[in-house]
Structure 1
Amino acid sequence: MTTTGTPQVTTAGAQFVQENTGVPGQPRQWKYGLCDCFSDCGLCLVTWFVPCVTYGQTKAKLNNDDSCFSNGFLYCCSMYLGANWILGGMTRGDIRARNNIEGSCFGDYCTHCCCPLCALVQENREVQES
């Protein structure tokens, strides 16, 4: 059996510190933080001015289809009705379930209610990486 991790030398000798390598069944963290949206300025600007485009791209990539326009239009309509946090929370839950990311349904909706643009950027970057 091999051990993966970072070797560290202590007074008791060499030890391996176990890293979270995506063990099946163990939820992991998001690859990008919620407030890490400014590290991709292009995506950040698009999301600020037309969040429906970012949402449409994320859903299309998540579902592996060409539904970018229809999903973006749906998000635009939900923004007009003030219900975009519901649609965003549902999508965030789908992303978490598919990528085994820790969190809760309540947290998904709260994130989209309080910080929808940062959530859209985080989700888009997560889906693009997988």
Structure 2
Amino acid sequence: MYPPKPDYYSSPQPGAAMPPPPMAAAANQYYPSAPNAFAVTQGPQPWSTGLCDCTDNCGNCCMTCFCPCVTFGRIAEIVDQGATSCGTSGALYALLEYFTCCHWIYSCIYRSKMRTELNLAERPCNDCLVHCCCEACALCQEYRELQYRGFDMAIGWHANMERRAQGMAVPPVMQGGMMR
């Protein structure tokens, strides 16, 4: 029915065309020295920040504290590679929080998916335990990790891909010196 989603996280098959990865980390305002978001590495890698390292991005911590559905929606859109929108994921999260108080199970699924795709270690403990005991800190850590990987969280998946595609354009070659 639909064409398969491209996998931005694994190496391409020989001869297969692969869409460009997310925007370069150089444009990232919080982590200017971030590595390539999708570099293939051996074994689980550590998170770029700890669970409670909110000192460098207080705006996100406040937003997560007062409206975690926005933070979760942004994370889910990037992790789903644009398959679900920020608004849809955030609204579902808010409904689960309001009616069942089991919203942390939904966000735990996305943490596990993100960890698998980015090859991150399951630290400091099991994903479900992290979200059950410290939901806000877990969401902030995931948000920071995606920023560290070069995503501008406020613009969503599709705009990040457009930015990346524009950044890969090759400028024209200019001749050096003055010519007549």
Shorter-chain TM-score tier: 0.7 to 0.9
Match of 2:88 in 1: 70
C-alpha displacement of 1:23: 7.0
Cα separation, 2, equivalents of 1:121 and 1:57: 11
RMSD: 1.8
Q: Which runs of 5+ in 2 are unaligned?
A: 1-38, 150-180
Percent of aligned pairs with the same residue?
39
> Which SS does the other structure have where 1:24 is aligned?
coil
Q: Which has the higher strand share?
A: 1
Larger RCO (CA within 8 A; separation ≥ 6): 2
Match of 1:108 in 2: 127
- Residue aligning to 1:95: 114
Mapped pair 1:52 → 2:69 = yes
Structure 1 residues 2-53: Cα deviation after superposition (integer angstroms, max 9, x where no partner)? xxxxxxxxxxxxxxxxxxxx87331111111101023211001110110000
- 1:55-93 Cα deviation digits (max 9, x unpaired): 001111222326000000011012121111111111110
> Which runs of 4 or more aligned residues in structure 1 lie more than 2 Å from their structure 2 counterparts after TM superposition?
22-25
Q: Which runs of 5+ in 1 are unaligned?
A: 1-21
Counterpart of 1:85 in structure 2 is 104
Counting helix residues as a fraction of each chain, which structure ranks higher?
Answer: 1
Count of paired positions: 108
Q: CA deviation at 1:129?
A: 2.5
